[in-house]
Structure 1
Amino acid sequence: MIRRITLNRPQFLNAYNHVLCDELAAAIEDYLKQDALRCLVITGAGRGFCSGGDISGTEPAHERAARVGVQIGHGVEMRDGMHRVVLALARCDKPVVAMVNGPCVAGGLALALACDFRIASDQARLGDTSGKFGLLPDEGGAWLFPRFMGLDRALKMTLLAEVYDAHEAERLGLVTEVVPHGELEARTMAFARALAGQAPLAVRLAKHMMQRSADISLERSLQDAALAVMITNPSQDVAEGKKAFVGKRKPEFAGR
């Protein structure tokens, strides 16, 4: 019921390259297709979550040149790389939880914010370091950061290349919950199991409605709700929820 994806380039603090992006986007898209999977957890191997794009220069030169040999190639590289990942998460109407186990900066922070929830270790550090290298918040950060922090704080973080400890990041709205490092996995997986145990139809429709709400009027949102209840209210899950309530037991939702 729960799928877990681990970014596995620990020697680079899980900085992404084109291979990692291809594999991550494909895994997210596969999660969306499988109804039996009800929650996705994304984390990083080793001591970091994701340090953004790989600027170590370790990729084969001929491969990189083929993608970015001309200026337009840089845009193509982003479009086919982390942009594909962020859009896959944005299109996903099932829950996604980021288990932030360590450094989570620049594109790594954009990746975490593209998830629905962020459970962070108290040893994690989050921020935007792109400015240190003359780079931009080009993985979705320019859209995501202001929506979570407000425009002034997002600009301050990016323009001054600030990185925050987990508790400060929580205060700024970047983190859902902070837990002691040794309890991170147990807490995150318990949270994921709780999400996976909810009624799948209601979860997917509620997420869809809330995602759309920022871009539409109240009237349009209410119209969405009126259409959505035509799916949920007659469902077996609602009947099961009522029976479980009367019987004082935990409901067993089947997504029908």
Structure 2
Amino acid sequence: MVEKEIQVRTNDGVMTTFVVRPDGHGPFPVAVIFMDGVGYREQVKANARRFAAGGYYCVAPDLYYREGDRISFDMSNMASGGLKGAEAERMMKAAASVTPENVVADTRAVLAAISSDPAASPGPKVCVGYCLGARVALHIASALAGEIVAAAAIHPGALITDKPDSPHHDLAKVRGELYFAFAETDRSVTQEMVDQFREELRRNRVRGVVERLVGTTHGFAMADLPVYNREAAEHHFERTLELWRRNLSQEPVEA
């Protein structure tokens, strides 16, 4: 495979973005990989490589660049300090910079930056996001509905809240097909919320599947986290690749 890091200029600074694609000339369909709350790091790149092996031109932007270049967090410190620990507070501050407005601007900037690469297909695009990136994936599927034909949201938190900007409102503008994989153990997720979200898909006439994976904990798809679940992680790779291929009318590629 071919991989590199590029520096994408935005109105707010410079955003490091990992790019990985198969060998060859392409063009390959573009897939945007939205990081989890732990930040831009090797594990995000590893997941991007896995998807690229399936035949995609993958881009993984550092969504925390407004808080610093390529920052990430020590999960062992967070585990010992709890959600009120200093490391968790630092992560929450960074996560607060990942607003709906910012992620739309950032995604547009990334797509513009790779548009001159002949290996990147100018056609329909897909995306996947983890944790806070799962919310981003849903929002991008709504805000860029004319470009995103399929999106996967992996171990998202609560997608229905009592706030005016509750993520479920994004469903109204989605045109593509969606896949959601909730963790069984997640402090912000209840079965009632999952069922209600599934009903919101139906009400908005959005094509999609909502799962809650038994035996999993929030973060299950990231191999560098203590809650990693290999079986569930493999499941999310398979389901996401199937989703993308189906909506891009591609032949299966062994990943």
- Scaled by the length of structure 2, the TM-score of the pair is 0.32
Normalized per residue, the structure richer in helix is 1
**Greater Rg over alpha carbons, structure:** 1
Normalized per residue, the structure richer in strand is 2
- Scaled by the length of structure 1, the TM-score of the pair is 0.32
